[in-house]
Structure 1
Amino acid sequence: MKFVNVEQVLKDSGLLAQEAGHLDVVRAKLVEGADRAAASYSEMTLENQQKARAADSRLLNIQWQAEQQAARIAVISELKKAVAAWREKHHAAAVLPAGLALSVSAQADISGEIAKVLKEQSVQFGTLPEVTLKTEEPDAEVEGTSHAH
């Protein structure tokens, strides 16, 4: 049985940096969509502006959370593939997160080996979210759609 310090591997391998970079781009796209929506508020009554802002904010927050979750799933998927390949190559019965163990010997910790393999991996996060404005309703809410899942 072998063990991996998941957070350390994600950090040392650069996968967390890839995730952060992707999420920076996603955030920028969502902010761009929010800015486009805000520009459409000028023709609305104050009450409708408040409703539209609240609805847009809810939708964009939901989209942001979904994008964060999708990015983490993509990163963990790469980690799982690398660990599975290592386990098969080395005929190990199991590889568990080090956090589950009360104590792990240096020989049982393969974190460095996995991080080294993952440094060469590029995570495929999928497409960026598309933020579109609804035009058929006077409240012009922002509707987030993502193809990254």
Structure 2
Amino acid sequence: MSKKLITPSNIIIDGDVKDKEAGLYMIAEKAEELGISADAEETFKGFIEREQEMSTGFTDGFAIPHTRSDSIQYPSVIVVRLKHELNWETMDGQQVKIVIALLVPKEVEGNMHITLLSQLSRKLMKASFREEVMNSFDTESLFGCFKEIFE
């Protein structure tokens, strides 16, 4: 794969949005800005369709929205540290502070999105990792948390 799944440019610090939909749109716009997506609207639509199937809220302040879309140019991960916690249907009822978005082109063969989700979920099961992420307040430290998972 010629492009990396995650780079420091894929990190958003203090994402200032009022609700889940605005957060997903912010991620879609960032994906378009970085060339990950050819169409922010189409990417946003993919996130919303997935949320309608089942919420991607995890536990302990994390959400993992994901989409497979024709608008996605290459597999990528975008991480957002929100300025304010958001209501997001989560497994434990907690609000979300960290959003880890997985973006995969529809054309990618196999189950890459499931593999990425699985790798991330295993890491999020560890309290030490969740704590490290929650205590990362700048781009470099947050990127450091995720680069080993997605290299």
TM-score interval for Structure 1 and Structure 2 normalised by the shorter chain? under 0.3
Per residue, is there more strand in 1 or in 2? 2
Q: TM-score, normalised by structure 1?
A: 0.26
Per residue, is there more helix in 1 or in 2? 1
